[in-house]
Structure 1
């Protein structure tokens, strides 16, 4: 059986130094080595991406191994198989001859098999009187035997890489969920802080991830998301500690005061005069003072214009110049949308008085975004106005819901 020498390909197939190097490497392989052929095949399947092989190339390699009669690859018994293309195609699940030739070339280029071409390019074998093969021309499986240890190490490395990738994705999913729910809880319960900025950072981290990210990209996003989670937790911890201190002071001094948890100025120091005014002008539980209204409006305005436009992209079509770049243009677009949706001028004016013109425009953008699900835009806006008068209206949950819906819609489309 021919082993340990260099042969050139038949016909117009060119010879290359890489082929020479591969054949010399086989000549230097350990004599007497044996390996279970299907174990080597499984290692090749595991590491196929490292060789740039397609699934059909593995089907062709599987077919070649079925023509080797023994269960173990053993150089002493010869490692050249010589099936015809027709036989190979049948055992490779009926792939076409063009595809078969291409995948055989891919296996050769990957250094997993070698060609042993006859003088006329046909595949056959010479046998002695006892029926044993003396010389065979076809495909040499010796590279699989010579590279068995290398293939096993590659398979282990690929499996470990896949495990690291899966764990990184799981950690990112959990961290992403934590940040998302912490932001939503903080906004819904009126925790002070620039949650619009935090939301923008959260969306930016996810936007930088490609559709099919690699492990390094997932790990980079995980690092950023973990830092953001720490920042959110620090903000909430500071507020909770401050609330506890205020609660202890109230209990010790037997002092009851009206606290507005939705105000973004909760941690700002105030003068003694301001404190006195707060105690003297304490409102009735069923009434809302201008100061309370101002605090609620400031809470709503914590959301930047860019966030409103991301949550309500349809409003940009009604901008003065086909777009919106500032609050004034958003308010102008809201007037157009008001008329289009049949909201009366009086209803919109009441909303502006109760919420402020910027907040009323943002609410109008939200109504436009959900217009398919709202029977009466005017009635809906009046209801928001009444809730705003009672101090029950918050723009945050509306924007968060629309942002989440738009993000899901974008993923489905992409």
Structure 2
């Protein structure tokens, strides 16, 4: 005869620290401050917060309306004694579904349970027939959390209005931008195609507009308005005045701190070296393959300049120099004034450039957050200039060179800045 195996399955309702806290608050709540009508209206509007769905809201309203109005007075106890089968009949769901929804309402703190030994629900009455206690579904936690939940509903309504307003503005700006491409005259075909691709890239980044945040829609709208101004040849304007860097008295001021040296060349002819177009790789149009020659080739530079660049710390690049080298950042509506802002924008810039999260994480692990942000900005700028056809591969190649100490971001930044000045000068 074999040994009997004890049933190790736990008996009773599952108790979590959160459920225990809700039960404690329900027992210590004073009834009488909130009426049943107020709770019923609150239960119907909780769906806008995302806390519960429509079916759970329907069940909660049925529970509130089941308890008599006097149960919410000072001398009352709002406990519901109906079975799951009866509640299922009233709301048109199965008993199993009602049981799962009650567990969900317990988890989010909208009801608590006072269980009996056999899970039966019944009231306890005194000699005069008044209910003094009972085992069932306790609604006192709703009274305790009424002010908190009502504030959530008000906040959700305000956010919904902001999103609706931003959504209407975004859709109008997107329609205007697409019509402006068709109506634009006198611009080269390559420019029109570039702007068209940028608009489509922007819509892909926003995704489903009704599900986007108001901040995302607002930034996309600002960028679309700027693209329309460019198509209509309206003089360039500032995308976001609040994000524009203030006037600095010292050209070498970075992050509100004066940095003594911001150029990697300390000789008398350093300006010539910094502005030299040879500071970038000579085979720009083929740089999209992200091979070894896609970056700066130190062997083709003078020996003294190569040694100077190798010994130069990577963080010597000023943020203002990076913004001058990568004007695409401003075109997308971003003008960071601190390195911390640029590092926070790096995931968004990767999405614009088509760089995967894995490639960005590997770059951060190899270079650090600041240098990875500089590398992403360079990649985005070269992608926008059609010099790089595989942004993800380009960044991975930069990461590999950084791991071996052969990556010199300073020269890339100064070379891009010099070329931008030469192209924009008359």
TM-score (ref. length: structure 2)? 0.48
TM-score (ref. length: structure 1)? 0.50
